[in-house]
Structures are given as C-alpha cells and as structure tokens.
C-alpha cells in the first residue's frame, strides 16, 4: 500500500540557509499535517492543510511557510535557518480530517550547522 513519502530523508544546512521539505500524502487523503520533533521530545504541530487550504497553524516560526499544491503534495519552506531548527520533521496525512488517526511519513532529519 502507498505510504506518506517525505524527501529528503536527511538534510544538512548551514545557518541562515534555506531548506525545502517535501511531502507526498496517501492518495485520497484530504488533510496534510507538518510536525517538528526535537530529540527525545514529542511532536509539535506546525501547520495543516485540508483540501489544499491551510486549516490550522501551530507554533510555526514566521521564517517557515508551507503550502499544498494541486497534486496534493505539500512543501515546508524554512528560511534563515537557525541551529535550533535542527529536528526531525514529520509529515502526516489523513482522511476525514484525522478521525481515524494519521499516517506518518518517515520524516526528514534536518541538521543545521
């Protein structure tokens, strides 16, 4: 069965650089979520999209932006990277707005040096 695909798996960037993370949700899932997970921490909600429209926004820095495209894939753009942005970034998708739970991707490990 198709899963949530995230790319890249690993990314190393220098401070003040820009990073773009991509997510391809499961076909026919109507909602995409982005979460940030620091080492040993719980996932923190960043932003979500329902049917390609932004639906909720969490603790996402102004340096970050995200969008969902016509083919339903989503991108998280992160600019002016800081050391503290180093984390695992998960994308998840769901249908029926998450009432049956999320399917997560494998995550993108971002390291800012």
Partner 1 sequence: AQTVTQSQPEMSVQEAETVTLSCTYDTSENNYYLFWYKQPPSRQMILVIRQEAYKQQNATENRFSVNFQKAAKSFSLKISDSQLGDTAMYFCAFMKQAGTNAGKSTFGDGTTLTVKP
Q: By the criterion CB under 8 A, which residues form the site for partner 1? A: 31, 33, 41-43, 45, 48, 50, 55-56, 58, 88, 90, 92, 94, 97-107
- Torsion over CA of 81, 86, 87 and 88, rounded to 10 degrees? 70
Task: Say if residues 20 and 8 touch (Cβ distance below 8 Å).
Answer: no
Q: Which is nearer to partner 1, 14 or 42 (CB)?
A: 42
Half-sphere exposure of 38 (CA within 13 A, CB side): 5
Task: Say if residues 19 and 11 touch (Cβ distance below 8 Å).
Answer: yes
Least distance to partner 1 from the beta carbon of 16, Å?
27
Q: Which is nearer to partner 1, 17 or 50 (CB)?
A: 50
Least distance to partner 1 from the beta carbon of 99, Å?
6
Least distance to partner 1 from the beta carbon of 95, Å?
11
Q: Which is nearer to partner 1, 9 or 15 (CB)?
A: 9
For tokens 């620091």, what's the residue? 38
């Amino acid at each position: 069965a198709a899963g949530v695909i995230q790319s890249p798996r690993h990314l190393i960037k220098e401070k003040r650089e820009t990073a773009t993370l991509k997510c391809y949700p499961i076909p026919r899932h109507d909602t995409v979520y982005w979460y940030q997970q620091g080492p040993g921490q719980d996932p923190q909600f960043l932003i979500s999209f329902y049917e390609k429209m932004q639906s909720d926004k969490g603790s996402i820095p102004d340096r970050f932006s995200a969008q969902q495209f016509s083919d339903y894939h989503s991108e998280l753009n992160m600019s002016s990277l800081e050391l503290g942005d180093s984390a695992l970034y998960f994308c998840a998708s769901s249908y029926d707005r998450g009432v049956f739970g999320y399917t997560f991707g494998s995550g993108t490990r971002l390291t800012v040096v």
